[in-house]
């Protein structure tokens, strides 16, 4: 009997495993198929909730988008910066899209999205500059953006209508609009100043570089291929988490980089390897390690934001956010980060071990359970669905009043004439220009 039972058990395990792999394979195939064939068949299954805002996504001609030279866009979608490429496509497919057949019908839109691939363009230019090819990348990316905006202004009547305040740009560069230079010397940056910037870098208040304004801009999640952690979740749901605190990634000796935070983490790894699993190289076991970790350290790098936060959420490791100024995507609206992250002030980095050990195991488990309910908010599905990242971006905008120019009455008597002032004009201030990394966070 026992051997029959154990054979049956073994078969059951085998079947479960095979079934799991089968679905994984099926999922991968479907993904690949939908990439090649387009996924229109699935959009009809999207549950409908009446959108209260309409967005019009401009059609930018290929000759402007893909531009003159090394725009090897094929390799861009592998990067989390490629949200600049994916989001316009996703929004266009979403229920929020105003599918105008004639340009004049687009006048009903509340928001206008201007697609552009600036970060990809700049990264490609820098790569080829390092290889001795291209040069002057900052000037070229400024020109690239200007040409696209010129096109929008010349071909459509909508930009002028509200001085660009209802126009949106995905600025996935680590420092958002700073890709186009300092505010006091960059014409294109000033032209974009009143528009809505969708960036990976959210900040609680206007920063010294003036790249994020919480009143009008929106912090969004990066684009990531999360198929691996999702399959890990399915296979080891309640897996033992053997790593206490985890960090893998770039650490340089320059203090300016991460203001000493990552260097301190490297020291934790050297002095206390039992608690701290720290590796300086990116590696193939990243997802396995992350899903075996109880806490994932997410320190600032060149920029305040880091993709690790979202990786950790997907992999079930509690994020330890060590970046005082960063306000991650959807905080306070659709995601209550306080339910599951540990926020450690940068000044308290030396007390990290005590802070983490002070969290009771029960609380840690509860935080991990809380975290699970938010994962969908950070995922860009191949087609948009309710409450995924694309949908949440629009839900967040729908909570705000539609941006409109405020008429300023200058003459109270007789012919009162309306003048318009975009709300984001501030006297420019000179910032020391700093090198910004090309992608290593
Ligand atoms: C616009 O078209 C997409 C498919 O291209 C569709 O999924 C979406 O629902 C449409 N939006 C509206 C408001 O009809
Ligand atoms: C989210 O926003 C609230 C204020 O609305 C702030 O107190 C909190 O620290 C923020 N959390 C994160 C993780 O940024
Ligand atoms: C370090 O953190 C622990 C736990 O949160 C706290 O009790 C202690 O006061 C902190 N020590 C310092 C020096 O901040």
Pocket mutation for ligand 3, best pick of 354, 360, 363, 364 (most atoms within 8 Å of C-beta): 354
Write down the pLDDT at residue 157: 94
Q: How far is the CA of 16 from the centre of ligand 3 (A)?
A: 46
- Cβ(80)–Cβ(223) below 8 Å: yes
Q: What is the model's pTM?
A: 0.81
Q: How far is the CA of 322 from the centre of ligand 2 (A)?
A: 13
Q: How far is the CA of 249 from the centre of ligand 1 (A)?
A: 40
Nearest CA to ligand 3 atom 4: 355
Angle (CA) 241 244 250, round 5° = 110
What is the share, in percent, of the chain residues with pLDDT greater than 70? 76
**E strands, 138-179, where?**
167-171
Kindly report, residue by residue over 249-289, the tens digit of the pLDDT.
Answer: 988 887 777 888 999 999 999 999 999 999 998 888 899 89
Nearest to 244 by CA among 378, 339, 342, 347: 342
Q: Give every CB contact of residue 355 below 8 A, 6+ residues apart in sequence.
A: 342, 344, 348
In the chain, which stretches have pLDDT less than 70? 1-49, 68-75, 77, 133-134, 233-239, 407-441
Whole-angstrom distance, CA of residue 164 vs CA of residue 193: 9
Judged by its nearest atom, the ligand closest to the C-alpha of residue 38 is 1
Task: Report which ligand 2 atom has the smallest distance to the Cα of 202.
Answer: 14
Bridge partners of 199? 171, 219
Write down the pLDDT at residue 40: 35
Nearest CA to ligand 1 atom 5: 93
Write down the pLDDT at residue 131: 80
- Cβ(167)–Cβ(106) below 8 Å: no
DSSP code string of 387-409 = TSHHHHHHHHHHTSPPP-PEEEE
Judged by its nearest atom, the ligand closest to the C-alpha of residue 357 is 3
Task: Report how far apart, in Å, the C-alpha atoms of 225 and of each of 111, 303, 311, 382 are.
Answer: 28, 22, 10, 10
Is 390 close to ligand 1, i.e. is its CB under 6 Å away?
no
**Token digits for 245?**
């605190």
Task: Report which ligand 1 atom has the smallest distance to the Cα of 383.
Answer: 7
Number of residues that make up the chain:
441
Write down the pLDDT at residue 410: 56
Write down the pLDDT at residue 407: 65
Whole-angstrom distance, CA of residue 163 vs CA of residue 422: 7
**Token digits for 319?**
């994020």
Q: How far is the CA of 333 from the centre of ligand 2 (A)?
A: 10
Whole-angstrom distance, CA of residue 313 vs CA of residue 44: 29
- Cβ(244)–Cβ(266) below 8 Å: no
Is 1 close to ligand 3, i.e. is its CB under 6 Å away?
no
Q: Which residues line ligand 2 (CB under 6 A)?
A: 327-328, 331-332, 337, 341, 343
Whole-angstrom distance, CA of residue 409 vs CA of residue 420: 9
Nearest CA to ligand 1 atom 9: 95
Is 347 close to ligand 3, i.e. is its CB under 6 Å away?
no
Pocket mutation for ligand 3, best pick of 345, 346, 349, 351 (most atoms within 8 Å of C-beta): 351
Is 82 close to ligand 1, i.e. is its CB under 6 Å away?
no
Is 345 close to ligand 3, i.e. is its CB under 6 Å away?
no
Nearest to 197 by CA among 36, 209, 9, 185: 209
Task: Report which ligand 2 atom has the smallest distance to the Cα of 321.
Answer: 13
Whole-angstrom distance, CA of residue 79 vs CA of residue 197: 19
- Please list the alpha-helical segments (H only) found in 156-241: 158-161, 187-191, 227-235
- Cβ(395)–Cβ(329) below 8 Å: no
Write down the pLDDT at residue 266: 95
Judged by its nearest atom, the ligand closest to the C-alpha of residue 324 is 2
Task: Report which ligand 3 atom has the smallest distance to the Cα of 351.
Answer: 1
Task: Report which ligand 1 atom has the smallest distance to the Cα of 98.
Answer: 13
- The phi, psi pair for 322, rounded to 5°, reads -120, 75
Q: Give every CB contact of residue 31 below 8 A, 6+ residues apart in sequence.
A: 227, 382
Judged by its nearest atom, the ligand closest to the C-alpha of residue 54 is 1
Alpha carbon dihedral 231, 173, 142, 104, in 10-degree steps, equals: 60
Whole-angstrom distance, CA of residue 60 vs CA of residue 36: 22
Q: How far is the CA of 91 from the centre of ligand 1 (A)?
A: 9
- CB count, 10 Å around CB of 367? 17
Q: How far is the CA of 172 from the centre of ligand 2 (A)?
A: 21
- The phi, psi pair for 32, rounded to 5°, reads -65, -40
Whole-angstrom distance, CA of residue 10 vs CA of residue 202: 50
Bridge partners of 319? 296
Q: How far is the CA of 332 from the centre of ligand 2 (A)?
A: 6
Nearest to 197 by CA among 244, 247, 145, 156: 145
Q: How far is the CA of 327 from the centre of ligand 2 (A)?
A: 7
């Amino acid at each position: 009997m026992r051997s029959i039972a154990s054979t049956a058990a073994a078969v059951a395990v085998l079947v479960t495993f095979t079934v799991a792999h089968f679905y994984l394979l099926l999922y991968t195939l479907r993904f690949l198929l939908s990439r090649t064939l387009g996924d229109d068949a699935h959009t009809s299954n999207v549950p409908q909730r009446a959108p209260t805002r309409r967005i019009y996504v401009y059609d930018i001609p290929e000759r402007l988008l893909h531009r003159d030279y090394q725009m090897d866009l094929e390799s861009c979608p592998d990067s989390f910066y490629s949200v600049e490429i994916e989001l316009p496509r996703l929004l266009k497919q979403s229920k929020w899209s105003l599918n105008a057949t004639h340009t004049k019908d687009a006048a009903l839109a509340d928001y206008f999205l201007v697609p552009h691939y600036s970060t990809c363009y700049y990264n490609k230019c820098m790569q080829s500059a390092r290889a001795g090819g291209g040069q002057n990348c900052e000037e070229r990316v400024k020109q690239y953006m200007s040409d696209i905006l010129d096109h929008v202004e010349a071909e459509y009547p909508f930009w002028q209508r509200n001085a660009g305040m209802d126009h949106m740009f995905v600025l996935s560069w680590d420092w958002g609009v700073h890709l186009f230079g300092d505010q006091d010397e960059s014409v294109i940056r000033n032209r974009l100043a009143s528009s809505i910037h969708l960036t990976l870098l959210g900040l609680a208040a206007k920063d010294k570089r003036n790249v994020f304004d919480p009143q009008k801009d929106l912090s969004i999640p990066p684009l990531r291929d999360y198929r691996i952690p999702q399959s890990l979740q399915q296979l080891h749901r309640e897996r033992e988490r053997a790593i206490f605190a985890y960090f893998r990634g770039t650490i340089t000796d320059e203090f300016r980089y991460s203001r000493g935070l990552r260097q301190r983490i490297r020291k934790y790894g050297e002095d206390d390897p039992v608690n701290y699993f720290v590796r300086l190289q990116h590696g193939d076991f990243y997802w396995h390690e992350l899903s075996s970790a109880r806490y994932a350290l997410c320190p600032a790098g060149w920029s305040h934001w880091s993709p690790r936060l979202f990786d950790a959420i997907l992999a079930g490791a509690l994020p330890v956010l060590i970046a005082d100024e960063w306000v991650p995507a959807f905080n306070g609206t659709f995601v209550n980060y306080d339910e599951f992250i540990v926020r450690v002030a940068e000044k308290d980095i030396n007390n990290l071990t005590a802070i983490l050990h002070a969290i009771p195991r029960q609380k840690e488990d509860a935080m991990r359970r809380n975290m699970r309910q938010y994962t969908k908010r950070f995922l860009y599905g191949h087609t948009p669905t309710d409450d995924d990242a694309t949908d949440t971006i629009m839900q967040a905008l729908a909570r705000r009043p539609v941006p409109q120019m405020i008429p300023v009455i200058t003459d109270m008597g007789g012919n009162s004439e309306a003048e318009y002032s975009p709300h984001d004009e501030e006297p420019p201030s000179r910032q020391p220009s700093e090198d910004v990394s090309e992608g290593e966070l």
